[in-house]
Amino acid sequence: MSDNKNTTVSEITKLLDKLFPLHFAQVSEDVGLIIGQLDARIDKIILAVDFCEDVTNSAIKHNAELVLTFHSPIDAPIRRITGKTAIGRQLLRLIKNGIALYSLGSAFDNMQGGLEDLVLRAFDCSKLRVLRPLETERFSKVVADIEASSIASAISAALKAAPDEQIAVSVRTGSLNFEDAYVFSENANPEIVAKLENREREKIRIEFVCKKMLAAKIVTNLEQFLKDKLDNVNIVGLEDADKKSGIGRVGELPKKNSLNEIVAKLKTMLRTQNLRVVASDNDSIKRIAIVPSKAENELLKQARNYGARCLIVSELNSQAARFARNLGLSLVETGDFALRMFALEKIKEILLKQQPAFEIIISVDNCGRINWA
């Protein structure tokens, strides 16, 4: 482990946004960098399911500079941060100790290759299909043709349209392709800018993925700031890549399994003995599905329509159990904590491939954990 902290919060934020694009999270979630000094340097990260006092204590104890969680601590607007509330006290402790906080929300759940895909691939499933494609109608893509030398101005103009929002940026040229280079901070990606800013008169295409309500404002800013260096700009719908990202997955097992076999494998995979089962069909299950959230009726129905006989969920209630039985669909409840701890192991692996010098610690102290008696 190197003692040199060469990576800034801004740089790790851009990396996280590229690896786990936040437009895959549900619109209602508060995701991305919650707290953080962009020029602060880091080399140690705490991964956790939830943000709470135990996680804060762990971050301080291990001298971590970043806490990365699934669930954001902010689920409603905060008018003030004081020591009078539990969340206020923890946020103040992070700020005092120079610790940044970043939330993934459901981005890793819904993205291609994320949590849902990982679980079904662990069962060796094939023919994966999304249960509910992302509500991409809430997003738009602004496509502009500009001179390469204006790239920094273009990114700045787009981000000024919504300084508190997250906007994805990708760049395409005849000789360079940055289609996967997403930027969600107020700083332009220095790699893109450095390579293109000095290319006089070369034309490039730059794309901004944003909330639909921001698209027109981005267009106005581009026209205002770039003027004659802007050749063309349009607002288009955001198409999900072959509908491979979204809420829930269904896949086909290599051979028929009994419900008991599926439960046994899931216990081993998640390292838990605590699963709740609603048994509708105990044998001859060929297709299984997963929804790492509440068991909504529409998702239960869609899973059954796609041929699933067993659905893995993180939480369920008696109403969902009755509805599933009527559909002939078995349910296996994992609990949110066990499922996301499985995901954190994969996230750690992904991050270490990108930043092998980082020290990454998975916290097992989470306020959302429910212990079974």
The model's pLDDT over 76-115, given as tens digits with 9 standing for 90+, comes to 667 788 888 888 889 999 999 999 999 999 999 999 899 9
Would you give the DSSP letter of residue 229? G
Residue 124 sits in the same domain as residue 264: yes
- Taking phi over 0 as left and psi of -120 to 50 as alpha, with beta for the rest, 92 belongs to alpha
Residue 15 sits in the same domain as residue 158: no
What CA–CA distances, in Å, run from 276 to 211, 316, 371?
A: 38, 9, 13
**Are the beta carbons of 290 and 114 closer than 8 angstroms?**
no
- Domain assignment present for 370: no
Cα separation, 299 vs 303, whole angstroms: 6
The reported pLDDT for the residue numbered 134 is 72
For the chain, how many structural domains are there in total? 3
**Are the beta carbons of 104 and 31 closer than 8 angstroms?**
yes
Residue 162 sits in the same domain as residue 219: yes
Instruction: Tell me which of 214, 239, 264 is where a domain ends.
Output: 239
Looking at the chain, the whole-number percentage of residues with pLDDT higher than 70 is 83
Give kind and range of the element (H or E) at residue 118. Answer: helix 115-122
Residue 322 sits in the same domain as residue 253: yes
The reported pLDDT for the residue numbered 182 is 43
Residue 143 sits in the same domain as residue 224: yes
Give the pLDDT band of residue 334 (cuts 50, 70, 90).
very high
- Domain assignment present for 373: no
Residue 254 sits in the same domain as residue 124: yes
Residue 88 sits in the same domain as residue 143: no
Residue 120 sits in the same domain as residue 83: no
Q: Which structural domain range is residue 117 located in?
A: 109-132+246-334
Instruction: Tell me which of 199, 214, 239 is where a domain ends.
Output: 239
- Domain assignment present for 18: yes
CATH number of residue 252's parent domain: 3.40.1390.30
Q: Give residues with Cβ within 8 angstroms of 129, minimum separation 6.
A: 249, 250, 251, 306
Looking at the chain, the whole-number percentage of residues with pLDDT higher than 90 is 43
Residue 128 sits in the same domain as residue 142: no
**How many other CB atoms sit within 10 Å of the CB of residue 310?**
29
